[in-house]
Structure 1
Amino acid sequence: MHLGLYTAPLHDRPLADALKVVAEAGLNAVEINTGGFLPAAHIPVKEIDADPAVARDWLTSFSGTGVSLQGLNCNGNPLHPDRRTGEQHAEDLRRSIRVAGALGQTRVVTMSGLPGAEPGAAQPSWVVNAWSSRALDVLEHQWEVAVPFWREIDELAGEHGVKVAIELHPQNVVFNPPSFLELIERTGAQNIGVELDASHLFWQQMDPIHVVRQLGAHIVHAAAKDVRINPEAAWCGVLDNSFRRLGADEPRQQLGADEWANEWPRNSAWDFVALGRGHDVDYWARFLHALNEVDPNMACQIEHEDTSLGPVEGIEEAAEVLLNAAVQAGLR
């Protein structure tokens, strides 16, 4: 099994320096961003797409590092009703698939996307609980938007020898196993699977290990990211909307046209934390064991989003837990 890092927290430094951090943490793989919500800081995607020969030259960046490329990441909202965002993220995904083929990569991680509630809508609308008939009407409209797009992506992925790994992420049409299976049933897709990011399953009260065993071969890629449920959840539940809008004069991450990430709640119901701060080594050992039973060659990439730790500090802490878990699972 490949144990590595999604390099987004190291976008402030060149690829060579990022690979050094990964290797020194004892990891042997990376997943690199190629568009969507985040820029392609570590890979010349447009150049590779225009000339596959560039792919061969760029891959020499990994020579002698002890680290291999194991997946591209293009998380975004390719179904966004604001065409400035939706069309850009959709084209980023298509390009990522073509680039993956040029690089000999077989995994592209993304999100399913989320349309508006009805034709002509300006903003995405996530149905959290479809208790009313109108909510089911919204869902049916969203599937009508999603299905032709994902049939197209499935065909493109097949042409390039790629599996598209959808992250089960809230605020998307596909956010849990039943919605993923519905996508497969509605599209007949053969080249779409799941990126099993444990963190989003944890806070939705799913068991990632149970999900791996139930979905089996549909799991084609994985992310190691932990979640801690806080006492505040007893007051407001896990669907907490007490985020703060960041001003234009504050550092903030652009997500699309006129759209920015908000500041995380100060008294949050739950937090993304470094591996081991929400679930212990024993849990992660069982998680890796379950993934290994599906595919011994699978890549499991650390995603560092613990804001209490710096990038390198957080990566090192998470890597220690993941590597100890691999030893306990008999994979090292």
Structure 2
Amino acid sequence: MKLGVFTVLFQQMPFEAMLDHVKAHGLDAVEIGTGNYPGDAHCNPDVLLEDADARRKWKNAIEDRGLMVSALSCHGNPLHPNKEIAKGFHETYVKTVKLAQLLEIPVINVFSGCPGDHEDAKYPNWPISAWPHDYTEVLEWQWREKVIPYWREWGTFAARHGVKLAFEMHGGFSVHTPATLLRLREAVGEVVGANFDPSHMYWQGIDPIQAIRVLGKENAIHHFHAKDTIIDPTNVNTHGLLDAQSFRNVQERSWIFRTVGYGHDLKHWADIVSALRLVGYDYVLSIEHEDALMSVEEGVRKGVANLKQVILNDPVTEAWWA
């Protein structure tokens, strides 16, 4: 396994200064945004798609520092019921797939998106209740008419370009649990897998270690985000886990994101890493820092230090004692 970072944290830095900074943290890999929610501070697809020399310089700058790109990330909502908004997200996705192929990057990270509740809707609708039956009808309409048709077409597009799609299972989107990820994978194919982020499992009441086992049986983990969450026992009994308060309202929220090791201890994170190895995941753990109680620098520094204690670097050997 290798240790990396989602470089949106350092978007204020010039590209090569950012790479030097990542290297100074002792990391092996970078995950780089190409637009949509992550922005494109360090990778502009419009420039790189048109200029082979620019692509070569971009790639060399990374490789000359002994780094690799774990994924290009273009998280967005291509299913947004506002067609103009959806178009922007979709176009960035298409460019990212094409660019990943040219740069020989095997994975792009995405959200599934979330449609509205009918053809003329203005806003996404995320149904999470089986009753009243209106919600069930909306949910089935979304998957039948929007989610599966879109990703069948554009998942095939990614597969033709030799790129795997790593869906971050995130609240507010149609794919937000292992079950919904596997539902999409069954409909679309093995190009679909997870960008597995434990932080989004915790607040949904899902044990990430068991979720890794569930997805691992299907070889459905394509990328991994290293991020933690802590649940406040008092606040969760006031607001529930489906807490829509601002992330800035740290003292009142039911849960907040934390740096690895500050939501769950390192034994737990060692178990996560072991579960990943058990199901055959031997790729990058990409640190995503969204800890409201730490600066970017402290959060990355402590996350790196904690993960280096539990990551498994060497390949598995035969059981010489057996």
TM-score, length of structure 2 as denominator length: 0.92
Structure 1 position 39 matched with structure 2 position 39? yes
The corresponding residue for 1:307 is 292
CA-CA distance at 1:291 after TM superposition: 1.6
The 3-state SS of whatever aligns with 1:232 is helix
Could you report, residue by residue, the CA deviation over 1:255-300 in whole angstroms, capped at 9, with x for unpaired residues?
xxxxxxx744541110001111111111111111222233353111
The corresponding residue for 1:250 is none
The 3-state SS of whatever aligns with 1:40 is coil
Judged with a 3 Å threshold, the aligned counterparts in structure 2 of structure 1 residues 331 and 25 are, in CA distance, closer, same or farther, namely farther
- Separation in 1 of the partners of 2:72 and 2:245? 32
CA-CA distance at 1:15 after TM superposition: 2.0
CA-CA distance at 1:330 after TM superposition: 6.7
Gaps of 5+ in 1: 244-261
Q: 2:305 aligns with which of 320, 329, 332?
A: 320
Q: What is the number of equivalent residue pairs in this alignment?
A: 312
Structure 1 position 213 matched with structure 2 position 216? no
Judged with a 3 Å threshold, the aligned counterparts in structure 2 of structure 1 residues 242 and 44 are, in CA distance, closer, same or farther, namely closer
| 1:46-195 to 2 correspondences below 5 Å | 46-143=46-143, 144-185=145-186, 187-195=187-195
Q: 2:236 aligns with which of 223, 233, 236?
A: 233
The 3-state SS of whatever aligns with 1:35 is coil
Could you report, residue by residue, the CA deviation over 1:206-240 in whole angstroms, capped at 9, with x for unpaired residues?
11111111111101110000001113112211112
Q: Is the 8 A contact 1:228 1:271 kept in 2?
A: yes
The corresponding residue for 2:320 is none
The 3-state SS of whatever aligns with 1:300 is strand
Judged with a 3 Å threshold, the aligned counterparts in structure 2 of structure 1 residues 22 and 123 are, in CA distance, closer, same or farther, namely same
Structure 1 position 8 matched with structure 2 position 11? no
Q: Is the 8 A contact 1:165 1:192 kept in 2?
A: yes
Q: Could you say what the CA RMSD is over the residues aligned between the two structures, in angstroms?
A: 1.8
The 3-state SS of whatever aligns with 2:113 is coil
- Separation in 1 of the partners of 2:176 and 2:29? 26
CA-CA distance at 1:3 after TM superposition: 1.0
CA-CA distance at 1:147 after TM superposition: 1.3
Q: Is the 8 A contact 2:195 2:225 kept in 1?
A: yes
Q: Is the 8 A contact 2:148 2:188 kept in 1?
A: no
TM-score, length of structure 1 as denominator length: 0.89
CA-CA distance at 1:77 after TM superposition: 0.8
- Separation in 1 of the partners of 2:278 and 2:96? 28
Runs of 4+ aligned residues of structure 1 deviating over 6 Å after TM superposition are 329-332
- Separation in 2 of the partners of 1:211 and 1:296? 13
Could you report, residue by residue, the CA deviation over 1:96-124 in whole angstroms, capped at 9, with x for unpaired residues?
11111011000000100000011100000
The corresponding residue for 2:271 is 286
The corresponding residue for 2:262 is 277
The 3-state SS of whatever aligns with 1:151 is helix
The corresponding residue for 2:282 is 297
Could you report, residue by residue, the CA deviation over 1:9-54 in whole angstroms, capped at 9, with x for unpaired residues?
1101112222222222221111000111132000131122224453
Q: Is the 8 A contact 1:21 1:312 kept in 2?
A: no
CA-CA distance at 1:130 after TM superposition: 2.1
